[in-house]
Structure 1
Amino acid sequence: MRTIPPELVKRYEAEGWWTGDTIGDLLARGLRDAPDAVFRVHSAVRPWSGTFRDVERVARRLAAGLRERGVGPGDVVSFQLPNWMEAAAVFWASAFLGATVVPIVHFYGRKEVGYILRSIRPRVFVGAERFGRLEFQPDLCADVPVVGVVGRDFDDLLAADPWPGVEAVDPALPALIAFTSGTTRDPKGVVHSHHTLGYETRQLAGLYPPDRGRQLTSAPVGHFIGMVNAFLIPVLDGTPVNLSDVWDPAQALALMRSDGLTVGGGAAYYMTSLLDHPDFKPEHLAHMKYAGLGGSSVPAAVCDRLARLGITVFRSYGSTEHPSITGSRHTAPERKRLRTDGDVLPGVEIRLGEDGEIFSRGPDLCIGYTDPELTERAFDEDGWYRTGDVGVVDEDGYLTITDRKSDIIIRGGENISALEVEEALLGMPGVAEAAVVAAPDERLGEHAAAVLRLRPGRKPPSLGEMRDHLERMGLARQKWPEELHAVEDFPRTASGKIQKFLLRRDIAMRA
């Protein structure tokens, strides 16, 4: 793990950002204070309905069963489950035991899961027998001492009597390892301590509007932010948990009407897929009061579209490594909420490198990677994290992300901002999402290629129509994409972010 400068540790503790609480302590208090809060899974495969008390009992019986099998503080417990009740039980049980939990996104395949299990060597693995394309593969878990499969033998892990307390562990030790698959070929294992995860949970909860309503969580709980939103923040707040194990805009719109649930943001894709769905009606807007957007670049065109509908948009910026770097409150001036990614959050510091790259540090910054080489490259001795993102800070201290360093296209020695071209493309009629990536070019080295997802029923524009639009927008000719592709949907990370490295690979293979 990285070395955290002693002066930062002292500051974080003195300010109360880092406390003596473990994640198990936070959960135990929250569950004690709101035992009757509703916990519901909206699923065609494994629906479930109960209360926090009911889920806690399963979690504590699981904790007792794992303890009987020798699992305790510091051991690694991994699970690959959809947004089901059992995922909460595994996470909560691990926290009560002081174990390090490793959630795995349920749609990761054999290659990713095998890599993760080899990296962490868990003592426990809990999976699903079958869900969509997910199927339990016993050979991957051959070296794991304790294995349970939901839908087959998970209940065999439960002891008759629940585990009564919370194991005492050092809150500076690892609480969670979140594997994130973004721009790299193999997932990166990001390690968070009880300190960093606890602070992130409290900080993120503080950004949410108090009248946000009963949220529907469809983001996979195997992903860092989905898990925090589903299994930690509601417990701290004593608010209901409503999970969906697939992102289905039709289901979300139906639940708004039948159960009064709300969808409050995430990646911009979640909001636009609702607005573009044929079942969307003006009355649904009553359940879409707020849109907290983040997880990927937030196009200005999307912000403007939501704002015109009366939705209060506020943006934030972070990553699995440093989850909450900047953010706008829902009460901030509209220009700041729509056009920036917010100002730095309490305890967080940022600075910009000579090329505009953002460096950050703060109480919610992870403590390193499972790969020591990644840790050494990403963090310096003063505690700064190299984000790989490029931005600018305005006179009021609000940050705007202008590029990802890996998204800069170098055409014949000239830099092209993919984000700038994407913003222009989103102004075309019928375009729901746009991604611009580098494509190989024998003469220039590389050129821009545009990949579009269209709204339902719309036909792809021609290359000429796209160029005419960009000329009207005033975009310099050398920035125009030189090839155009249309897709039904993009390859995405668990948080909805477009995986551009896969687009670049597919386009290069066609060349």
Structure 2
Amino acid sequence: MRLLRFHCIWPLQNLEPCKLQHVQHQQQSSTAADTSTGTDADADRLPSHGRCEPHPPRDTARVQSHLHAAAVVRGGLFSPALFPPHDLRFRSSSSSYSYTTVSRASLSSSLLRLACRRRRISSRSCLCSPRRDVPSPRMLSTLPRLPIFEAVARHDPRSAAVVHSLSGRTFTYGELLADVSRARDRLLDARSGAGLDGERVAFLVENSYDYVVTLLACLAARAIAVPLSPAFPAPELQYILDHSEACLLVSSPRFTPKANEVLATGLASPPTHVELPKHAGGRAPEAVSLDDTDPAGAGLMLYTSGTTNRPDVLTAQSLSLIEAWNYTPADRLLHVLPLHHIHGTVNALLTPLLAGSSIEFMFPFNADAVWRRLAAPFLPATNGTANGTANGTITPPSTNGIVTNGNSSSSTSAAVTPSSQNGTTTTPLPPITFFTVVPTVYSRLLASHKHLPPAVQEAARDAVSPAHMRLAISGSAALPTPVKAAWRDLSRGTVLLERYGMTEVGMALSCGLDPADRVDASVGWPLPSVEARLVDVDTGDVIPEGQDVDPATGRERAGEIQLRGPTIFREYWRNPDATAKEFVTDTDTDKPGRDGSGRPWFKTGDVAVRRPVPSAGHNAAAQPWARGPMYFILGRRTADIIKTGGEKVSALEVERELLSLPEVAEAAVVAVPSGNWGQKVGAVVILDPDVVQKWTPLEMRRALKSRLAGYKIPQVMRVVDHIPRNAMGKINKKQLVKAIFADDVSGDEL
């Protein structure tokens, strides 16, 4: 059974009530089921210059009318809800026209034949000969009432939602939800009516508008979205598909070969493959309605840890960041991160979409390209070249009336003032106001800046200065203090904001927006809606605030960070034992810091200390959550806390001191097994060739003698050319120890 698909374009001012009937037609017109009583007299009801035109099938959701026109169905007013979605469009013949849309509508077969007869065309040619000159309709579809869809629907439809940096293609908020609806219907069609509520939908899509549409389409289908990294080898993707039990594998045309490669592996239950077409952009805004059906099956599953987050958790994470970091529609975020991690997906994608900001994709990261894009709005116009071309690397596109950074394209600011380029009008690129990346990105940008042409160097410094870049954030790994200081100097005063988070909890701690609150080596305070506490790693006792120093030893008390609140994940997928193991519930109130509420705390596995910072936390009027003692991360309990000779050493602290030495370009501090000491502090370093060609362990120890206590100074050191990191700049230290210190049985040599 198949619905006939068509659209009819009739002048609205001449549209009289027509007898319509909701019927289904067999694919073969000769055997079509027709219960209509339409006769030749119905032809007189059609406008004399009306015409029936074919329209390609468009799988959209439900139906409503934008206009005050009504048709009669068996003597009653037309009800959009009667018609499941295909396209029926009415257009006025006047120069100022509008559309009304009936999605997946079926007219009576007799009325269709009559309409075609008036134009002397056959019903078969009407159905099968698509027109290409008809503009896209303003179609009203239906999506579940998720906060992300409510927010997008409220944003200015002319405002840029997503921009492809290198091509300049721009996609507006006005077209986003309609594209999501169409993609959602493609996913549902692939299930042949089985639905997707709570099912896993994995996808391989490049960092682009297509990724945004695919992710949101999964949520719109009430499915659990499973983003895949195209960089993963086929066996790793096979594991994710098997473990998640994905029923669909969605790919963009670019990654269809990769999808086919994965599907050719020995999957336990191969998912159905769906290829979604690329979006060209430029559609007219299309209205989308939101229904109140339960979207509880929707969610996001990230395979950095196998966690599953439901929409309410994702929304809580985003709202917390909007309050803390003040995302607004005026922000333009340059996105250079991978999208299978929470940093790239929640912080840099879902949250700015919720706030109405513009996201500009430039992936994969290239330091030279990033600098030139940042500098582009601040380069002077010379020889008829528009400022913003970055020495020909980037050509700014015309905005065609699209609102950028909260301002219309008629703004007189340097960022959006059209300039002449070779006789044509172009629009210089808007400045980037928001940048959130990992420490490695800042290190590489610092290293490459000196190789830029002088004019680009100066323009780039302007671009990242406090006058133009509202917020620059570092996360996902510890930020070396020397990198933070170097960035402040290069940017003429921008202080990088550090924060703490993980896949299971989203963002949990953050420094404040006031530069005085961005204290070196600190990740700040618990974010709005997040509760945090420290639990002594040895005794299991909660460390009450204000009792952060051991009175017996005078040393700071280190504890595991434990968190709770609406931003915390729900579960590890199909692993209740692991979920239960990572949560602890207070059942007693006789110990300090335990409330007996029964609300579970998540054990992060990260160790920190709290300490008051007199110069910070004085902006309570603007950010009331940013006050009290600040958190300082010592590292992962299993990888960064080195137990040597009865002492505990923070690998991150030692790394910061190593990186402050001019001889060291990169460093990783690890726990090396030792027969005598249990563990010894080991250092893996990359030297700066401009400073030194050779460096011995003894020279290293002398350089650190005045900076660290003796037991913290590395006792073993290896100089290497490369330290492997993952996509987020993190180092697997257990693997590094095995690779670098494999022949050090005891680790007792200097």
TM-score normalised by structure 2 residue count: 0.58
Counterpart selection for 2:629 from 397, 400, 424: 397
SS at match of 2:680: strand
Q: Would you say 1:324 and 2:507 are equivalent positions?
A: yes
Deviates more, 1:196-205 or 1:267-276: 267-276
Rate the CA distance shift 1:360–1:432 in 2: closer, same or farther, 3 A: same
Q: Match of 1:68?
A: 189
Rate the CA distance shift 1:457–1:42 in 2: closer, same or farther, 3 A: farther
Counterpart selection for 1:40 from 163, 188, 197: 163
Structure 1 residue 117: deviation in Å?
1.0
**Are the aligned partners of 1:265 and 1:271 in contact in 2 as well (CA < 8 Å)?**
no
**Are the aligned partners of 2:335 and 2:348 in contact in 1 as well (CA < 8 Å)?**
yes
Counterpart selection for 1:199 from 316, 331, 336: 316
Q: Match of 2:244?
A: 120
CA distance in 2, matches of 1:350, 1:229: 20
SS at match of 1:467: helix
**Are the aligned partners of 1:41 and 1:83 in contact in 2 as well (CA < 8 Å)?**
no
Pairwise CA RMSD: 3.1
Counterpart selection for 1:148 from 250, 265, 274: 274
Q: Would you say 1:473 and 2:707 are equivalent positions?
A: yes
**Are the aligned partners of 1:23 and 1:198 in contact in 2 as well (CA < 8 Å)?**
no
CA distance in 2, matches of 1:294, 1:248: 18
Rate the CA distance shift 1:392–1:478 in 2: closer, same or farther, 3 A: closer
Q: Match of 1:299?
A: 480
Deviates more, 1:318-327 or 1:170-179: 170-179
Paired AA for residue 199 in structure 1: A
Report Cα offsets for 1:313-338 as digits up to 9, x if no partner: 2221111111121112212624x533
Rate the CA distance shift 1:292–1:460 in 2: closer, same or farther, 3 A: farther
**Are the aligned partners of 1:276 and 1:456 in contact in 2 as well (CA < 8 Å)?**
no
User: Which runs of structure 2 are paired with 1:84-483 in the superposition (5 Å)?
Assistant: 84-127=208-251, 136-140=261-265, 143-149=269-275, 168=292, 170=294, 175-180=299-304, 188-209=305-326, 213-258=331-376, 259=429, 260-261=431-432, 264-277=435-448, 278-279=450-451, 281-288=457-464, 289=469, 290-308=471-489, 309-331=492-514, 333-334=516-517, 336-355=518-537, 356-370=559-573, 371-381=575-585, 382-395=599-612, 396-406=628-638, 407-454=640-687, 459=692, 461-463=694-696, 464-476=698-710, 479-483=713-717
Paired AA for residue 302 in structure 1: V
SS at match of 2:303: strand
Q: Would you say 1:506 and 2:682 are equivalent positions?
A: no
Structure 1 residue 236: deviation in Å?
1.9
Rate the CA distance shift 1:261–1:460 in 2: closer, same or farther, 3 A: farther
| Between structures 1 and 2, the one with greater helix share | 1
Deviates more, 1:190-199 or 1:311-320: 311-320
Structure 1 unmatched ranges of 5 or more = 1-20, 156-161, 181-187
Structure 1 residue 393: deviation in Å?
1.8
Structure 1 residue 507: deviation in Å?
2.0
Structure 1 residue 375: deviation in Å?
0.5
CA distance in 2, matches of 1:225, 1:477: 35
SS at match of 2:569: coil
SS at match of 1:325: strand
Report Cα offsets for 1:231-258 as digits up to 9, x if no partner: 3223222222201220111110111123
Deviates more, 1:133-142 or 1:65-74: 133-142
Paired AA for residue 108 in structure 1: F
Structure 1 residue 41: deviation in Å?
2.1
Rate the CA distance shift 1:456–1:265 in 2: closer, same or farther, 3 A: farther
Report Cα offsets for 1:333-373 as digits up to 9, x if no partner: 24x53342111122211121122111111110101111222
Rate the CA distance shift 1:328–1:172 in 2: closer, same or farther, 3 A: farther
Deviates more, 1:432-441 or 1:98-107: 432-441
Structure 1 residue 192: deviation in Å?
0.8
Structure 1 residue 154: deviation in Å?
7.4
Rate the CA distance shift 1:487–1:496 in 2: closer, same or farther, 3 A: same
CA distance in 1, matches of 2:173, 2:343: 20
Rate the CA distance shift 1:126–1:495 in 2: closer, same or farther, 3 A: same
**Are the aligned partners of 1:171 and 1:193 in contact in 2 as well (CA < 8 Å)?**
no
Rate the CA distance shift 1:457–1:87 in 2: closer, same or farther, 3 A: farther
Paired AA for residue 642 in structure 2: I
**Are the aligned partners of 2:501 and 2:507 in contact in 1 as well (CA < 8 Å)?**
yes
**Are the aligned partners of 2:219 and 2:298 in contact in 1 as well (CA < 8 Å)?**
no
Structure 1 residue 432: deviation in Å?
3.6
**Are the aligned partners of 2:336 and 2:437 in contact in 1 as well (CA < 8 Å)?**
no
Deviates more, 1:219-228 or 1:171-180: 171-180
Structure 2 unmatched ranges of 5 or more = 1-142, 280-285, 377-428, 538-558, 586-598, 613-627, 745-750
Structure exhibiting the larger radius of gyration computed from Cα positions = 2
Report Cα offsets for 1:137-165 as digits up to 9, x if no partner: 32248534421346xx779xxxxxx9955
Counterpart selection for 2:173 from 52, 55, 76: 52
Paired AA for residue 295 in structure 1: S
**Are the aligned partners of 2:222 and 2:295 in contact in 1 as well (CA < 8 Å)?**
no
Rate the CA distance shift 1:369–1:391 in 2: closer, same or farther, 3 A: same
Structure 1 residue 483: deviation in Å?
1.9
**Are the aligned partners of 1:196 and 1:364 in contact in 2 as well (CA < 8 Å)?**
yes
CA distance in 2, matches of 1:480, 1:145: 50
- Sequence identity of aligned pairs in percent? 25
SS at match of 1:341: strand
CA distance in 2, matches of 1:90, 1:456: 45
**Are the aligned partners of 2:372 and 2:460 in contact in 1 as well (CA < 8 Å)?**
no
CA distance in 2, matches of 1:268, 1:400: 17
Paired AA for residue 307 in structure 2: V
SS at match of 1:203: helix
Deviates more, 1:368-377 or 1:449-458: 449-458
CA distance in 2, matches of 1:430, 1:134: 43
Paired AA for residue 739 in structure 2: D
Structure 1 residue 167: deviation in Å?
6.5
**Are the aligned partners of 2:248 and 2:271 in contact in 1 as well (CA < 8 Å)?**
yes
**Are the aligned partners of 1:217 and 1:242 in contact in 2 as well (CA < 8 Å)?**
yes
Structure 1 residue 452: deviation in Å?
2.6
Rate the CA distance shift 1:416–1:474 in 2: closer, same or farther, 3 A: closer
Paired AA for residue 297 in structure 1: A
Rate the CA distance shift 1:245–1:397 in 2: closer, same or farther, 3 A: same
SS at match of 1:401: strand
Q: Match of 1:12?
A: none
- Say which structure, 1 or 2, has more relative contact order (CA 8 Å, 6+ apart): 1
